[in-house]
Chain A
Amino acid sequence: MKNEEKNSIPGFALTRREALKLGLWGMAGFFVSDFLSFSIFADALKPVFSGGKAKSVIQIWLAGGPSHLDTFDPKPGAGYNYCGPYNKPIETNVDGIQICQMLPLLAKQADKYSIIRGMTHGNNGHETAAYMMQTGRKTGGNLVYPGIGALVSYFKGYDGGYKGMLPPYITVTSPLGRFSEAGFIGSRYKSFSTGSDPNRPLFAVEGIISEKIKNDRLASRKALLGKIDTFGSLMASDPAVAELDNFQEQAYSVITGDVGKAFQFTEEKNELRDEYGRNKFGQSCLLARRLVERGVPFVTINDGGWDHHKQIFPELNKRLPVLDKGVATLLRELAERGLLDSTVVYVCGEFGRTPKILWEAPWNGGRGHYGKAFSVLIAGGGFKGGRLLGKTDERGETVTERPVYPWDLNTGILGLLGVSPDAKLPHPQGKDVFASALASGEIPEKERGGILNEIM
């Protein structure tokens, strides 16, 4: 085979990326458990995957699919039919990087993040595209894979040494929907959704902070429960009863202990809260910072409403400043607090939007779904700032340089967390499945861009 020949040439130096590709190529050819392939693979990835210094991930999910031309890949030269009113992109604090004029605060933080402009998967359906972006897998086959949050919850949560009382995977505020987060690894790794709204005077996190029941009332309720739980005390030795009792005791200490403080902003300055933006999204960003500060491995901010089929510009005029304030303040703060080095922050949706604007009725200036080319903003946790990865053509329609597929992106993020692509997943029927789609040879060579070494 080709890779064997190459490997046999003495002194032939492989770049990391080449070695990675060869290793994977070898694996596709061999039976997956072939020891040799694994060792090639492991060696090639060592610098990345053993040096992972990221501890947490903040995923900012712009559900519906944000327009790449109107955010991180502006195309002022393409004319009015492509860029509409956003034809004057602004310079950032990094030479050669321009972003949409509606994002002036993020422009001042460009040294902290990279922009992947070569993102692609070619799928235009919300469900399947969301599945691909969240799981880093293709659809098809008999398996439904876990999303990256559930994967991190599996590797870095309670089974991976996490000791915190806060759930290891938290979604602010409502669940992602469209696909089942945890796939075959099971509901134990699903996220905890806070519900409510962190911008409200009382942010009532379901189950943890009650709007109505104060702690002293809960204490007397608990005492009453202890006395009347006749069946529970009679059957205390039954494993099912004991397990439930154990969780109830834990629940009580979570509610009455310090855990709830993560969700209360009383110690944050008003100016800071204003800077994040006094809205659900802005305060969700602030909450995400508070959660990773407390060691939560994965936080998703689920921001819906980016499916702008109609009249996109009036909508974006409202939304982009909100996004700008929230994300820019989050990055600034994480950096100042020394948390950015250990926290991956990335912003994306399931796809981009059609570069050509649909001026005709009923869209009246909208954009459709577009999975062929779009952008991801990524920062921290070992990702470099101030870089561009990949390129689209002059109208933002096709990726012309360095494509990045969902499996490349997810494998890279997992790698920085120290999760090797060939780490095994628990499969209920005992099948051999791995953390990354790249490890099982299911992705053909032409659909691999390579993990994100250029920006690590």
Chain B
Amino acid sequence: MKSIYKISILFVAICILFGCRQFCVNFLGYPPEEQFTSFKINNKVDEIVIKEFRKRDIPPSPTCTDEVFIRRVYLDTGGILPSPQDVRNFLADKSPEKRKKLVDKLLSSMDFADYQALKWSDILRIKAEFPSNLWPQAAQVYHRWLRESIFRNKPYNKFVYELLTSNGSNFQVPPVNFYRAFQERKPDEIAENIALVFMGIRLDRAPWTEKQLSGMAAFFTKIGYKNTFEWKEEIVYFNPEAKADPKLNLPLKPVPLNGKPLDIPQDKDPRIVFADWLIAPANPWFAKCAVNRVWYWLLDRGIVNPSDDMRPDNPPWSPELLAFLEKELVSHNYDLKHIYRLILNSNTYQLSSMSNEWNVSDENGFSRYRIRRVDAETLIDIICQITAVPEKYTSGIPEPYTFLPSSIRAVKIPDGSISSSFLDMFGRSPRNTSFEAEKTLSPSLLQALHIFNSGHIQRKLDQGPVIKGIISDKKGDDYKIEALYLLILSRYPTAGERKIAEDYIKAPNTKPYDAMNDLAWALLNTKEFILKH
């Protein structure tokens, strides 16, 4: 009797709970369970992320299509579009592993190294002129070192160690340029920058104190700089005799942020002591900052956001996710490509950018791929790619003038002083500071005018051998339309789009050649082309 009573209470309770859930789903707009269960778990990233979605009651968008994926992953890893043949092959491939295979291929490409080197060049402010004043040759060797380090997948801890501890000539030992790229080369300026770049923290404000800043600055008081007989050559070296400017009021013993004042022997380079502390697996900032940056680069928002502003009152979107990626980086010998691979293969990265009824206003999360404008360097590169008309990048200042080979992509420009009004207009980083926010993706009227109506873009459409080739091909309009779509939007046109394009070309009083050129123009001006999605 008693047990029946218990069971019926349990039954009623279940009914009420279930009823509540249904009520919530039906009347309060709560997302139904299938919205969560349909989320594919590709790896551990997804396991953690789906928990966050559930916690917030925000179901993710579905996984994106292959057409969307191939364009997205080429742009995000290499700043480049897939060729029409790449698209055809990928779409025809029936292998369930094809996305994974593509990710592997892209991560080992030189394009990947070029594009990631651009991101690091922004942060390290590689620039011949003001305010880094590296000088053209030094900027070039520094950039080449960066690019090779990324291509060879140098362990991230080793990469940073070289940047922070090298001695020698700015022409012979490229990473010494790290300490040259400062306006005043003062210890506090250097400490603030290192904290920002490798720890993702802003030492000049709360919660950090003046004392903590100067404790860290004291590591950088023994850096010597001297000239040689070679024009603009400079040696960076450990100078035990160097004295900090007394006005800075630095402590004699350097203090790591989470530690006690250190006694460093006179003959030991304090930069080495600092670097050892920084790259130690126990360092609470180093690996976190690195994985958070990669996440930001791929998903347009840091797990901690802004990605270079970690502090207690700016908590991560998911502490578990950040801790997981941090652990993966350390346990995989600081292999950053491993982190790229984890993220790119996750279903979280591969979500569609289209919102569902519940995640429309999810501005701060990752329940859909965040739509953003293609960045300045990539945008001009892909316009050059589809038209096969290269840009010319030169720098008339300072002498000696710099001329880059005409086949060079904008993402490969080594020196931020090499100017282009297109790049400036579309928000490339001026490399004045190391903040990620230096680079902007916001659209503007001038940008719209430029793509719409500038001679610069129109000449590329007119003269580009690829587009010209397609338009003057003897094959039918249907073939030409398809070829332009594959070339510019990296996908086949839909039946509806084919019809619209054909009608436009066949309209009375139109010259077929001009009409095709108009189609190429229109595709270049679609949101689908200008935005990443």
Contact = CB atoms under 8 A, between A and B. Distances in A.
A429 B202 contact: yes
Size bracket of the B interface: 35 or more
B421 A228 contact: no
A221 B528 contact: no
Given A144-B433, A195-B421, A251-B445, A187 B183 contact: no
Interface in B100-158: 129-131, 133
A235 B458 contact: no
Interface in A146-201: 167, 174-175, 177-180, 182-184, 186-188, 190, 192-193, 195-196
B519 interface: yes
B397 A190 contact: no
A240 B372 contact: yes
A131 B443 CA distance: 27
A187 B427 contact: yes
Interface in B192-219: 192, 202, 205
Interface string B432-444: 1101010010111
Given A127-B129, A212-B455, A230 B494 contact: yes
Interface stretch (A43-51, A134-142, A279-287): A134-142
A142 B196 CA distance: 13
Contacts of B496: 230
A210 B372 CA distance: 28
Given A241-B531, A247-B445, A250-B445, A141 B421 contact: no
A227 to B, nearest CB: 5
A144 B131 contact: yes
A128 B518 contact: no
B232 to A, nearest CB: 13
B527 A228 contact: no
B529 to A, nearest CB: 9
B183 A184 contact: no
Contacts of A127: 129-130, 133, 397-398
B430 A180 contact: yes
Contacts of A177: 396-397, 419
A241 B445 CA distance: 14
Interface in B483-512: 494, 496-497, 500-501, 504, 510
B355 interface: yes
Given A144-B433, A221-B521, A225-B525, A213 B458 contact: yes
A228 B497 contact: yes
Interface string B381-424: 00000000000000011100000000000000000000101001
Nearest to B496: A230
Nearest to B505: A224
Contacts of A221: 518, 521-522
B183 A210 contact: no
A204 interface: yes
B15 interface: no
Contact of A248 (B433, B452, B494): B452
Contacts of A195: 421
Nearest to A184: B432
B530 interface: yes
A131 B522 CA distance: 41
B250 to A, nearest CB: 17
A187 B533 contact: no
Interface in A215-268: 217-218, 220-221, 224-225, 227-232, 234-235, 237-238, 240-241, 243-245, 247-248, 250-252, 254-255
Size bracket of the A interface: 35 or more
B371 interface: yes
Contacts of A255: 449, 452-453
Nearest to B525: A225
Contacts of A240: 371-373, 443, 531
A251 B526 contact: no
A251 B452 contact: yes
Given A126-B398, A140-B183, A234 B445 contact: no
A144 B432 contact: yes
Interface string A383-413: 0000000000000000000000000000000
A310 to B, nearest CB: 13
B452 A229 contact: no
B184 interface: yes
Contacts of A347: none
A207 B454 contact: yes
A429 B435 contact: yes
Given A175-B421, A207-B452, A428-B437, 5 more contacts: A175-B419, A178-B397, A179-B129, A225-B526, A245-B527
16 contacts: A126-B397, A141-B183, A141-B184, A177-B419, A210-B458, A213-B453, A221-B522, A224-B500, A224-B518, A228-B519, A231-B526, A232-B528, A234-B354, A240-B373, A255-B452, A429-B202
Give the 3 A-B residue pairs with the shortest CB-CB distance, closest first: A207-B449, A180-B430, A232-B527
